[in-house]
């Protein structure tokens, strides 16, 4: 605690300010009519402070410490000051506690903002994860579509080949039928030729027999 001349300040006034010096948060309480007590204190908050969304959240134990120190000043000043001065000090204490309550409200609001920010960050991460999953799903769908196109193309090729084989089979069956017909015709021709050969043999035998009979009977063939 340091002693500061506050005689030039209006009676019954209190000043509380928060400053950030090189990353160190400081809370300064200045009270009038307290020259002898040195009621201008600077409390280094440091690690007991959480910075979030532009609001300083002061640890509650530190607030209680400030309130207790203010009350201790009042008890000590009662023995040194007149009743009028003490009443002014009580007014100062009232304003001090009022300011502390306001700081406490700010701390609660800061905590709420921190919780909302954390929830928002979690929602953002969840949304990002969902976006990644949607992108992965779209990529999988694209791959499936590509594979489906390949399968369709392969199926078309198989169908075309099957149709060609079917046409080839039909053509082959037609050729077999035609060859069978030709074979039947050949067999019929062979049978006809055999029959004609037998007839010619019979005719030749008959001619030979007729010629031999004519010679034996002395027939003369005249020119």
**Tens of pLDDT, residues 150-181:** 888 888 888 888 888 888 888 888 888 888 88
Contacts 24+ apart (CB under 8 A), 65-68: 66/27, 66/29, 66/96, 66/100, 67/96, 67/97, 67/100
Looking at the chain, list the stretches that DSSP marks H as alpha helix, in order from N- to C-terminal side.
60-78, 83-216
Report how far apart, in Å, the C-alpha atoms of 118 and of each of 112, 115, 121, 182 are: 10, 5, 5, 94
Domain boundaries, the chain: 14-123
> Which residues, at least 6 apart from 131, have a Cβ–Cβ distance to it below 8 Å?
none
Alpha carbons 203 and 10: distance in angstroms, whole number: 167
Indicate the pLDDT class of residue 16, thresholds 50, 70 and 90: low
Indicate the pLDDT class of residue 69, thresholds 50, 70 and 90: low
pTM: 0.33
**Tens of pLDDT, residues 28-60:** 555 444 443 344 444 444 433 333 323 333 444
């Amino acid at each position: 605690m340091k002693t500061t001349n506050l005689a030039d300040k209006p009676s019954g006034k209190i000043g509380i300010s928060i400053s950030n010096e090189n990353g160190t948060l400081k809370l300064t309480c200045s009270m009038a009519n307290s020259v002898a007590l040195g009621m201008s204190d600077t409390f280094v908050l440091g690690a007991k402070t959480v910075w979030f969304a532009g609001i300083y959240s002061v640890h509650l134990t530190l607030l209680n410490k400030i309130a207790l120190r203010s009350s201790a000043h009042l008890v000590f000043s009662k023995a040194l000051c007149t009743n009028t001065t003490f009443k002014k000090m009580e007014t100062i204490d009232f304003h001090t506690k009022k300011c502390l309550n306001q700081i406490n409200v700010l701390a609660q609001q800061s905590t709420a903002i921190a919780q909302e920010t954390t929830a928002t960050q979690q929602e953002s991460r969840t949304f990002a994860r969902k976006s990644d999953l949607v992108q992965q799903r779209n990529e999988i769908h694209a791959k499936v579509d590509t594979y489906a196109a390949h399968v369709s193309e392969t199926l078309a090729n198989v169908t075309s080949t099957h149709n060609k084989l079917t046409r080839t089979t039909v053509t082959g069956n037609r050729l077999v039928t035609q060859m069978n017909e030709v074979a039947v015709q050949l067999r019929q021709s062979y049978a006809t030729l055999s029959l004609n050969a037998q007839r010619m043999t019979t005719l030749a035998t008959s001619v030979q027999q007729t010629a031999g009979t004519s010679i034996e009977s002395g027939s003369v063939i005249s020119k």
